[in-house]
Amino acid sequence: MRERRDRSATPAAAAQVRRELLLPDISGTTSTLQGTGVLWDSVMPPHLSRYHLHRATQRTLAQVLSLAAHTVLVMMGYNHATMTMIAGVLTIPLVQPASGIDAAVWVIECGGFGLLADLDHPKASVARMWGPVTEALAHIVTAVSRGHRWGTHDLLLAPPLAYMLFTYAARSYPTRLFALALAIGLALRAVTMLGGTYMGAGVNAGVSWVGAWWMLEHVASADTHLPFAAALGIISHILGDSITKRKVPVPIVWIWTKERFGLPLLTTNSRMERNVIAPALTSILLVSTWYILDPQTRRDVIEVFPILRHDWISTI
């Protein structure tokens, strides 16, 4: 038993686990997640795992390391959502929403679907959004797309397939409700990613489904633009992943060759992404949203937030 634990904590085994579960190597430790727990012998380096600490202490330290890994891991998801929300804001003139509420729903749908492509891995953060429901969905997507960052990240195949799938979903009320709830749930997941906070699967599902029902009842275009939002979210996600070191699959050709392409400018969850890219994207989203507002809406916002009464803001 002792020898088996030492072998499970070897660097080679730990690296294989990280590759399978998409976990980063943080401060020389490795994280093997099993359900909601973390195995002490795999979390700590071999020279520390020999010490027989109290099991409660082991669990506490393992949970701290797991939280640190999760906080680092989820930042890229927030950037995906923000990028697609920016695209949603900039395409509002093309969508021509009937009201401000319609425009807000369009942007929310875009932001949520910016994470849609990552439903191709059952252990991904978005796959745990509604617990067993989204995990089962992720298993199906994984099987169809042949693994993480393959089929759902094909720039030529994935967007039109997403468009057709959500066009079909818009035909009946139950599937419309599910599609819209999925978009809202993914958007909520992105918001919690921003602060490294946690929203339980039940809470996320409740807010998502109630919000989807309300939108379908009170917003005329809530389901009209679902196919466009899904396709735009997939495209934005793939473009974002194409500048990371893991790249994206060569469209269609990957089916036979497993080749990837891209401009490896960023390391996922690097300091550059967390400290520069994320704040920059947030700023662009806020500025572009302010720019797209009509003058009357801007005045209404300024009345609510008097701090915006500055000359340089008024000129944007």
Residues of the chain with pLDDT under 50: 1-9, 13-14, 16-53, 61, 64-75
Q: What is the pLDDT of residues 11-46, one digit of tens each?
A: 554 454 444 444 434 333 333 333 333 333 433 444
| pLDDT attached to residue 207 | 94
Which pTM does this prediction carry? 0.72
* Backbone φ/ψ region at 111: left (φ over 0), alpha (ψ -120 to 50), beta: alpha
> Which tokens sit at 315?
């000129």
Amino acid at 131: G
> Which tokens sit at 144?
């169809």
Distance CA 255, CA 250 (A): 9
CB atoms within 10 A of CB 303: 10
Q: What is the pLDDT of residues 85-130, one digit of tens each?
A: 999 999 988 888 888 888 889 999 999 999 999 998 888 878 888 9
Q: Answer for the pair 68, 87: CB distance below 8 angstroms, yes or no.
A: no
Distance CA 24, CA 276 (A): 19
Alpha helices in 173-310 (DSSP H): 173-195, 201-218, 226-241, 254-257, 271-272, 278-292, 295-304
